[in-house]
Amino acid sequence: MPKKIRYFDRNKEPFLSPEERVKTFKEYALGFSVSMAIDEANRCLFCKDAEKRCIKGCPIHVDIPGFIKKITEGDLVGAYKKIIETDIFPSICGRVCPQERQCEGSCILYYDTVRDRKNKGLPVSIGALEKFVGDFIRISGIEIEEIPDPPTGKRVAIIGAGPAGLGCAYDLAMKGHKVYVYEALPKIGGVMTYGIPSARLSKEIIDYEYERFRKLGVEFIFGCVVGRSISLREIINEYDAVFIASGYGRGRLGLKGDDLEGVYSAIEVLMRVNLFGEKVNLGKKTVIIGGGFTAIDAAITALRLGVETHVVYRRTRETSSARQEEWDHIKEEGAFIHWLTQPIEILGEEGKVKGIKCIKMTLGEKDESGRPRPVPVPNSEHIIDCDSVIFAIGQDPNPVSYEDVPEIKRDKWGGIMVNERYETTLRGVFAGGDVISGGDTVVRALAQGREAAKFIHEYLMESK
C-alpha cells in the first residue's frame, strides 16, 4: 500500500509563550519529544533523488533522508552518526540554520526543486529533527566514539575557534594531525558563543562540543590575540600549515551621530550579555538598525533586558536576510518593527543619544542583489525618540591577525583572498569562513572549514 502523503500535519516544535520567554535568556524552543520526532520523521517521503532536493539545499549536504530514516527505526545513535558524517554540530545547526531557505525550502512536500514549482504542503521539520537527534545524544550522555587516524606527525595552527575553525580542526584531527587552535576569547564557538543569544542557542551545547574536541586531542590556546600576543609569522614558521578563520566579527557603525554615548555595535551588546553576563544599560528605549540575524539577536537580547525595542530596516520583511519566523517571535515578544525605514542621523543632547531621525522608503527598481532598491519617500522624515541605538548592519573583517603579513593578499573589504583550494597567496597558509566570504551563516562557515581541511590534508601529505 503506498505511503499516505502527509502534506499538512507538520509537528510544531513547542515554544515557551512570549510572556514567559521574554523574561529569560533560557531557550524558548523546547524541542521535540521522542514521539513527536518519530511522527515527524514519518512524514518524510525519503525521496530517491534527495541529493537534488533537501541534500542539495543543505550547505553542508547532510544525508537528510538517511538520518530521518534512522529516527523512524528508533536508531538515534545511527541518526547522529549519519549527521556527523557531514555536519559535526547537529544540535547547533538544528537551532540556528535558516532551514526554510535551505533543506526545508527544498523539501518536496513544500517545493519541487526538480521541476522548480511550489508544492501544496509544509516541509518536514528537518531542523527540529536534527536538533532532536543532537540533543538526545548530548542529554542522554551516550558516548559516540570518534577515533582519529594514527598520528601523522604534522602540526597545524588554526586561527579562530568559530564554526570554520572548528570544522577544519575536527577533520584535521580526525586525519591524525596535531591541531592547535588560537582563540582570542576565553571560550570556543566564535559567533555561536558571543553572538547568538542563549535564548536561541544554549551555551551548554558549546561546552559539550568543546569536550568532543578535547577528546580528539585538539589543543586550544585561549586569550591569544594573533597579531598582538604572537605574530602570524611566528605561527607560520612553527607549524606545517596554518588555517585562518578569524571571521568577520568586527562591529560596524556608520551614521552621523554614531559617536554619541548610547551608541553600540550589536557585537558589543551581544558579547557583553552572552559571553560576559553583563547587563548593558540601553536605557528605557532602544532602536536597532538592521534586518539580518544580528538585528534579531540584538532585539532578543534587548527585550530580555526589559527595554522597549524598536527595529528599523530600510527594506521589507520579505527581503530581509533574517528568518521570517524570528520576526514573528520578536514581534510577539513586544518589539516594534519599522519596515521600509532608513535611519539618517542619530540625535543627541549633552553628548547622549536622545533619538534617531529616519526617513520612510518605498521599493523601486531591482538593484544588483536582485532585490527592489529602497527609495526615499520625500518629506517623510520623522524622529523616533530613544535612549540608545544599536548598529546591526553587518560586520567588518578583523584584520589584526594577518595585517602584518602583506604576502597574504586581501580583497577590497579587507578579507582574505583564496583560490578554490582555500589557499591564500602565501604557501602553506589557508583561510576560510567569513574572513573569505564576508558575513554568512554558521553552517556555510562550518562547510568551508571542513572543505578547507581536505585541501590542507592533501597539502600536508604531499609535503612529507
Partner 1 sequence: MVRIERREGKGWFFIKVDKGNIPEWKRGQYFIIRYGENYKGIPSFPFQIGDEATFVIHSEEKIEEITNIEGPCGKPLNLSGYTRILFVCNEKGIPAFINIKQKGKEHIDLFMLGSTELGEELGVNYRLIRSLEEVKEEAHKSNYDLIISAGDNEISKGILDLNIPVEHVACVDTPIRDGAGLCLICRVYVKGKMKLNCVDGRWFIAGDIDWDKLKVSKEEKVGCLRR
**Interface positions with partner 1 (CB under 8 A):** 24-26, 184-187, 194, 198, 222-225, 227-230, 249-251, 253, 259-261, 264-265, 267-268, 271-273, 275-281, 304, 351-352, 398, 400
Distance of alpha carbon 95 from alpha carbon 93, whole angstroms = 5
What gap in Å lies between CA 257 and CA 354, rounded to an integer?
11
At 339, list the grid cell.
519596515
Least Å from the CB of residue 2 to partner 1? 49
The least distance separating partner 1 from the CB of residue 404, rounded to whole angstroms, comes to 11
Rank residues 216 and 225 by Cβ distance to partner 1 and give the closer one: 225
Q: Smallest distance, Å, CB 28 to partner 1?
A: 14
Nearer to partner 1, 275 or 363 (CB): 275
Give CA–CA dist 340/307, Å, rounded: 23
Closest CB to partner 1 among residues 26, 214? 26
Of 8 and 276, which has the nearer Cβ to partner 1?
Answer: 276
Distance CA 388, CA 75 (A): 50
Nearer to partner 1, 223 or 406 (CB): 223
Residue closer to partner 1 (CB basis): 353 or 443:
353
Distance CA 386, CA 383 (A): 9
Comparison of 136 and 194: residue with beta carbon closer to partner 1: 194
Whole-number minimum distance, CB 425 to partner 1, in Å?
Answer: 23
Cβ proximity to partner 1, 274 vs 320, nearer residue:
274
CA distance 94 to 99: 8
Q: Do 320 and 290 form a contact (C-beta atoms < 8 A)? A: no
Smaller CB separation from partner 1, 79 or 282: 282
Q: Which residues of 335-350 are buried (b: 16+ CB within 10 A; e: fewer)?
A: bebbbbbbbebbbbee
Pull the grid cell for residue 421.
Answer: 583550494
> Residue 415 in contact with residue 397, Cβ under 8 Å?
yes
**Residues 6 or more apart in contact with residue 103 via CB below 8 angstroms:** 54, 55, 57, 58, 62, 64, 97, 123, 126, 127
CB of 89 to partner 1, least distance (A): 21
Query: CB under 8 Å to 82, separation ≥6 — which residues?
Result: 62, 63, 66, 67, 70
**String of DSSP letters for 125-185:** -HHHHHHHHHHHHHHHTPPPP--PPPP-S-EEEEE--SHHHHHHHHHHHHTT-EEEEEESS
Residues near 247 by beta carbon (within 8 Å), at least 6 away in sequence: 160, 162, 164, 190, 191, 397, 398, 433, 434, 435, 445
Closest approach of Cβ 257 to partner 1, in Å?
11
Instruction: Report in angstroms how near the CB of residue 233 gets to partner 1 at its nearest.
Output: 15
CB of residue 186 to partner 1, shortest distance in Å: 5
Nearest to 448 by CA among 247, 164, 178, 160: 164
Least Å distance, CB 225 to partner 1, is 5
Concatenated DSSP letters of 243-259:
EE--TT-B----STTTT
Q: Shortest Cβ distance from residue 24 to partner 1 (Å)? A: 7
- Residue closer to partner 1 (CB basis): 174 or 305: 305
Q: Min. distance of Cβ 299 from partner 1 in angstroms?
A: 16
Nearer to partner 1, 77 or 253 (CB): 253
